[in-house]
Amino acid sequence: MSSPSSAPSAPLSDSLQAILYTPSSSKPASLKILNQLLLPHQTVYIPITSAADAFTAIKSMAVRGAPAIAIVAALSLAVEAEGEMARLASKTSDSTSIPTEAVDVAASINGKLRYLLGSRPTAVNLAEAVGKLARVVDGAVERGADGDGVRKAYVEAAERMLVLDVQDNTAIGERGAEWIRAGHEKRRKLRVLTHCNTGSLATAGYGTALGIVRSLYGKGLLEHACYTETRPYNQGSRLTGYELLHDGIPCTLITDSMAAALMQKLHSEGDSLAAVIVGADRVALNGDTANKIGTYALAVLARFHGVKFVVAAPRTTIDLATPSGKEIVIEERPPDEMLSVKGPQVLTGSGTAIDIKNITSISTAALGTQCWNPAFDVTPAELIDAIVTEVGVAEKNDQGKFDLQHLFSISEVK
């Protein structure tokens, strides 16, 4: 695989942190998110001070990726709660409108959690976080906490989600790398293909599927990572490429439509991908997996070419209440995300310099084009070889079925 060449180069950021949170212990708590609509060309952090800010950031995809969406939603309310406590303590003029009774505080937080749930429908992590945080709030009321006690319980639980996500991703990376390596004892170094962005930018850090790529690389087991452009929103070329290049991981971009040719070419050379590794937005009880549009096509291709198909996701992405993929609601995005590309102007003919200040949208379709723009598709469990979580790797049993319930009987990351 040759190295990527002649792509316009922009200065890389020192940081791939999608979520910058200053915890409540160092007052005041604050939250900023890296505006992913401007990556890879500009590194701009947006302050998030309220649930309304978080809703807008999630819906516009300034922050995206199943785990990151849930954490930003949760922390936005932590910042709001901290601000309310500070205003009540200093009795500022606007503090009279802030609820003080525990039941009223709980009702206010729960109402905002329900509002945030409406921002994007497919990734279950947000719904899972909302359910968990509502239980924390209601539990604090039942235990007799006062208004600030309810707020403190909420803030503690939201902050814990941030810490746990990085831990979980590191464990997923470790387990996934080990599972893939075990299937390729004879090969020293492995080639893999990934889709969409599942890295540091889509999570609190490190990443899920991209965490496995990072882990393989860290262990000296990775020869090369190919990644798809991920049309129509280009999370692959814009974000995954940014992360892989940042980390110095050997990598090559392909368009989504080149995946079949890549597998065929490697096969004709007596070689093969070790695995296609993808993330997930919602894994149903039976293992059917909703993920970025194009995932299903890759799973079909992988099966045809005898390549392992691996889904990497924390348990918060597994939705035991959804029996199968048929019940998963697939978000449809606005047509303009499909009918145009956004980026800075290329300043020189050689394609080596770009004007990062001049980011514009360019139409790529005939005027009046109608389009269908589902953001996700569902890959049937039948086509999935392994579901890698922080506590273990699920494989199908002799009847060809996943037992995902079992993963929830494992109490902690070992």
Residues catalogued as catalytic: 281
Locus of tokens 């909302």: 130
Cβ atoms of 16 and 199 closer than 8 Å: yes
- Rounded to 5 degrees, φ, ψ at 376 are -140, 160
- Please count the CA atoms within 13 angstroms of the CA of 225 that sit on its side-chain side: 33
Interface residue with ligand MRU among 375, 386, 387, 413 (CB under 6 A) is 375
Interface residue with ligand MRU among 18, 31, 35, 64 (CB under 6 A) is 64
Cβ atoms of 353 and 10 closer than 8 Å: no
Q: How many helices (H) and strands (E) does the chain have?
A: 11, 16
Interface residue with ligand MRU among 18, 66, 133, 145 (CB under 6 A) is 66
- Alpha-carbon distance values, 326 to 287, 290, 296, 323 (Å): 12, 10, 14, 8
The reply on whether position 198 binds ligand MRU by CB under 6 A is yes
Of the ranges 184-192, 269-277, 279-287, 355-363, which one interacts with ligand MRU (CB under 6 A)? 279-287
- Alpha-carbon distance values, 309 to 218, 232, 301 (Å): 21, 22, 10
Of the two residues 79 and 123, which places its CB atom closer to ligand MRU in the complex?
123
The reply on whether position 281 binds ligand MRU by CB under 6 A is yes
The reply on whether position 140 binds ligand MRU by CB under 6 A is no
Of the ranges 63-71, 104-112, 159-167, 405-413, which one interacts with ligand MRU (CB under 6 A)? 63-71
- Least distance in angstroms from the C-beta of 75 to ligand MRU: 17
Which residue, among 291, 307, 320, has the nearest Cα to 402 in the 3D structure?
320
Locus of tokens 């697939």: 330
The reply on whether position 279 binds ligand MRU by CB under 6 A is yes
Site size toward ligand MRU (CB under 6 A) is: 17
Of the two residues 80 and 128, which places its CB atom closer to ligand MRU in the complex?
128
The reply on whether position 234 binds ligand MRU by CB under 6 A is no
Interface residue with ligand MRU among 8, 67, 294, 343 (CB under 6 A) is 67
**Where does residue 306 rank: exposed (0-12), middle (13-18), buried (19+ CB within 10 A)?**
exposed
Neighbours of 174 (CB within 10 A): 18
The reply on whether position 29 binds ligand MRU by CB under 6 A is no
The reply on whether position 205 binds ligand MRU by CB under 6 A is no
From CA 294, how far away is CA 338, in angstroms rounded?
A: 14
Interface residue with ligand MRU among 116, 157, 202, 251 (CB under 6 A) is 202
Of the two residues 291 and 379, which places its CB atom closer to ligand MRU in the complex?
291
The reply on whether position 141 binds ligand MRU by CB under 6 A is no
Interface residue with ligand MRU among 123, 262, 266, 387 (CB under 6 A) is 123
Interface residue with ligand MRU among 30, 108, 208, 252 (CB under 6 A) is 208
The reply on whether position 390 binds ligand MRU by CB under 6 A is no
Which residue, among 289, 255, 271, has the nearest Cα to 385 in the 3D structure?
289
Sign of the torsion formed by the C-alpha atoms of 12, 15, 18 and 20 = negative
The reply on whether position 235 binds ligand MRU by CB under 6 A is yes
- Alpha-carbon distance values, 117 to 74, 248, 360 (Å): 11, 37, 31
Spell out, one character per residue from 323 to 352, where the chain touches ligand MRU: x when CB under 6 A holds, - when not: ------------------------------
In the complex, the residues that contact ligand MRU under the rule CB under 6 A are 64-67, 123, 196, 198, 202-203, 208, 235, 279-281, 291-292, 375
